[in-house]
Each structure stands twice: as C-alpha cells, then as structure tokens.
A = this chain, B = another copy of it.
Amino acid sequence: MKFSVHQSALLQLTQTVSKAVAVRTTKQVLTGILLEATEDTLRATAYDLELGIQDEIIADEQSGLRVEQPGAIVLPARYLSEVVRKLPLADVTVTIQNNYVAEIQSGQAQFHLHGIDAAEFPKLPLFHNAERIEIPSYSLKRLIQSTAFAAATSEVRPVLTGIHLQLENQHITFTATDALRLAVRTAALNSAENQNWNVILPSKSLTELAKILPDDDSLIQVQCTNTHSLFAVGSTLFYTRLIDGAYPDTSRIIPSQFRTEITLPTSDITNAIDRAVLIARDRDNNQVRFDVGADFVTISSSSAEIGNVAEQVGILQKTGDDLQIAFNGKNVLDALRTIQGEEVILRFNGANQPFIFQEEGEPSALQLISPVLTR
C-alpha cells in the first residue's frame, strides 16, 4: 500500500472514526484503525464490536489523495492520530513496508509505526436487504438529545441502557428511562410506509452519533437488521449493535389525567432550579422542592451544612390544586434542557405521583419524573 494525502484530510479522517476505537480491551487489533486504499479512495474504520465508524476520502484536489498502490493495514489509533496531528500542514505519504510497518513521511519527518495485518480486523456487520428509512438530520439529533440522557447508566437492567426505537404508521418514537425518569419524543416520517421497527439501541452510541449529526435537514439513511443498525451521515457510516431483550411497556406509566397543571417561562424555571441544585446534595438525591401556590411556584432546597435557597417564579397559567412536591433537581434540569420553546407546561397528580413536563404547543415530546418521597 502506498498513498499521499493532505495532512488535514488524513487528520479529519482519523479523528472521525476514533470514537469507535476500543479503549479497554485485550484484543490489540481493536485499538487500531483499519486503513484501506483502493485506486481512488482511502477508507478508515474503527470498530470496538459495539460501535463501528467508517469514513473515506475520495481522490480529488481537496483531499490531495493519490493512491500509488492499493492495500490495507491496521495502525495503532492513538499513535496514528497523534503523529498525523503533529505533522506539518503538507502532503503526507504513507507506505507499507515489510512486516506490517507503515512509513509515514512528511517534509523532513519520517515515522515508522508497527501495524497489524488488516486480515485480523473484525468485519463490520452486513446490511444486505436491510429495512431502511430516511430522516432529516436535525430531527434525528433532537430525538436523541431529548431522550438519551434519561437512559440508565448502570448495567443492572441492560435494556434500560438503551433507547427504545419504535417505528409504526410513519412515526418514529424514541423512549429512554432509568426507572426514575422517562423521556419520549416522536417524529413523523415522509418515508417508511408499511415499516414497523421495534429495537433497542445503546444510548452511548446514539450520543456519539448525535455529535456528528449536522443541524440541517440533510437526510440521514437508517438501516436495521435483527442485530445491528447503520446510520449514513454524509460519507460517514455509523454502525451500532442492538441491545437484546424486551423493552418495558412505558406507555402505561404515563398518566392521562392530572390534578394540577401550570405553565411557566422555561428560562426562569430552568435558572431557578439550576441555582437550587447548588445547595442540594448528591447523597440527598439532589432534592429540590416545588411549592405551587396561586400565582407563584416557590423553588427551594436546603442542606444542613451549606444553607438554603428559595426563589419564586410567576405562574403564567394554572388549573387545579396547589401542591408541594420534591424531586431530583438534576434530573429535572436535564428534562427542562430538552425544551426549546419559551413556555413549559408541568402536570402533576399530587406529591407522590410522577409528574410531566411538556413544551407548550409540542405534544410530540414528554418528560416524566418520579418525585422524591418526602417524610
């Protein structure tokens, strides 16, 4: 294998795939990046067996890619990225020599890195005849960002570390819950007629995917098999395995009737809880309290060692009873940060029942929070 390419193009290629490089593993090949040069492309792949990212550069003026001899090699991701980052802003020539040694040459600098036979690199999952849909990038990003934070981080119930993706009637729904909070968002699709999906995707993988999704309406192609899904973002292919198991039926825990309903200015209530969390203690579940009166909500928290805080936020609209309720302030902040509109609706059924947040005029998303039971 031998190719030349602009330093900046090679750097971007290695950085794009590096999120899928295995960090803790005994299989050395998984800590590497597979580089494959064909006549007119250079392709890079990283795959830790859960998440796989593949991208490629086309031979053109912008990339400066010229492949002299096709071939493939696995190079250690950490050193490849660091070496490429520190090379001069000029053309880089990579040549594979005997014994899987890569010579990386740029300007006066000449590196030799020990590589591994490309045949040892695991194969990415295949997607022949897989079901596929298309979804605008900003819409997919919002689905992920509105739900992924609510997934469980502990592995006690592996399905809860995932996001439940359901597709039916040309609507796609993302659901995540860690059993104390629940986040749901739905989006309508133009494609996907007669398709029904019901899969669980690792929330960590989707969080990484969200980072590379552009904030525009470019269409992301999503494919799904029984074991894996594949997202195509421009030239970047993003593979993730599915989580095995049955996702709990969360629809039953969302109440349909409420005893109290209030509308608040999103930024006022977010800032007030942000301040209240400063005083709330981790070991006390970051406990923050709401006292819903006639015209104001009083947000408060206290800690024996530090002190206390109280703040009033004016209620824009209210129906139903007054209420006192305590909750994990950090979870509520996460929920509030998914709301882009200026007004948020909170719906309660008393101090000991889950309550929900919804953006005013946006019924397609919902955040549910279990209260902290108080003495």
* Contact B109–A306 (Cβ < 8 Å): no
Q: Name which residue of chain B comes closest to A101, CB basis.
A: B307
Q: Name which residue of chain B comes closest to A305, CB basis.
A: B114
Q: What separation, in Å, do the CA atoms of A82 and B108 have in the docked complex? A: 50
Given contacts A79-B278, A275-B86, A278-B82, contact A114 B306 (CB under 8 A): yes
What residues of chain B lie closer than 8 Å to A310, measured between beta carbons?
A: 109-110
8 A Cβ contacts from A294-333 to B: 305-313
Most chain B CB neighbours (cut-off 10 Å) among A112, A271, A307: A307
Of B76, B112, B113, B309, which one neighbours A112 at CB under 8 angstroms?
B309
* Contact B86–A274 (Cβ < 8 Å): yes
* Contact B86–A278 (Cβ < 8 Å): yes
Q: Name which residue of chain B comes closest to A308, CB basis.
A: B112
Q: How far is the CB of A146 from chain B (nearest CB, A)?
A: 24
- A81-111 interface bits toward B, Cβ cutoff 8 Å, 1 = contact, 0 = none: 0110011100000000000011000011111
8 A Cβ contacts from A237-291 to B: 271-272, 274-275, 278-279
* Contact B83–A278 (Cβ < 8 Å): yes
Number of interface residues of A (CB under 8 A): 32
What residues of chain B lie closer than 8 Å to A271, measured between beta carbons?
A: 86, 88
Given contacts A76-B306, A278-B86, contact A313 B112 (CB under 8 A): no
Given contacts A83-B275, A87-B275, A275-B87, contact A308 B111 (CB under 8 A): yes
Q: What separation, in Å, do the CA atoms of A214 and B149 have in the docked complex? A: 42
Q: What separation, in Å, do the CA atoms of A108 and B268 have in the docked complex? A: 10
Q: What separation, in Å, do the CA atoms of A101 and B279 have in the docked complex? A: 14
What residues of chain B lie closer than 8 Å to A109, measured between beta carbons?
A: 272, 275, 309-311
What residues of chain B lie closer than 8 Å to A87, measured between beta carbons?
A: 275
- A182-204 interface bits toward B, Cβ cutoff 8 Å, 1 = contact, 0 = none: 00000000000000000000000
Q: Name which residue of chain B comes closest to A268, CB basis.
A: B108
Q: Name which residue of chain B comes closest to A86, CB basis.
A: B275
Q: What separation, in Å, do the CA atoms of A274 and B85 have in the docked complex? A: 11
What residues of chain B lie closer than 8 Å to A308, measured between beta carbons?
A: 111-112
Q: What separation, in Å, do the CA atoms of A305 and B115 have in the docked complex? A: 10
What residues of chain B lie closer than 8 Å to A274, measured between beta carbons?
A: 86
What residues of chain B lie closer than 8 Å to A88, measured between beta carbons?
A: 271
Given contacts A86-B275, A275-B87, contact A111 B79 (CB under 8 A): no
Q: How far is the CB of A217 from chain B (nearest CB, A)?
A: 35
* Contact B311–A279 (Cβ < 8 Å): no
Q: Name which residue of chain B comes closest to A300, CB basis.
A: B110
17 A-B contact pairs sorted by A residue (CB < 8 Å)? A79-B279, A79-B307, A83-B309, A86-B274, A102-B307, A107-B311, A108-B311, A109-B275, A109-B309, A110-B309, A111-B275, A111-B307, A111-B308, A111-B309, A112-B307, A113-B306, A114-B307
- Beyond the given A101-B307, A107-B311, A109-B272, could you list 11 further A-B residue pairs with CB under 8 A, ordered by the A residue number? A76-B306, A79-B278, A82-B278, A83-B309, A86-B271, A86-B275, A88-B271, A108-B311, A109-B309, A109-B310, A111-B308
Question: Which A-B residue pairs are the 3 nearest by beta carbons?
Answer: A113-B307, A109-B311, A112-B307
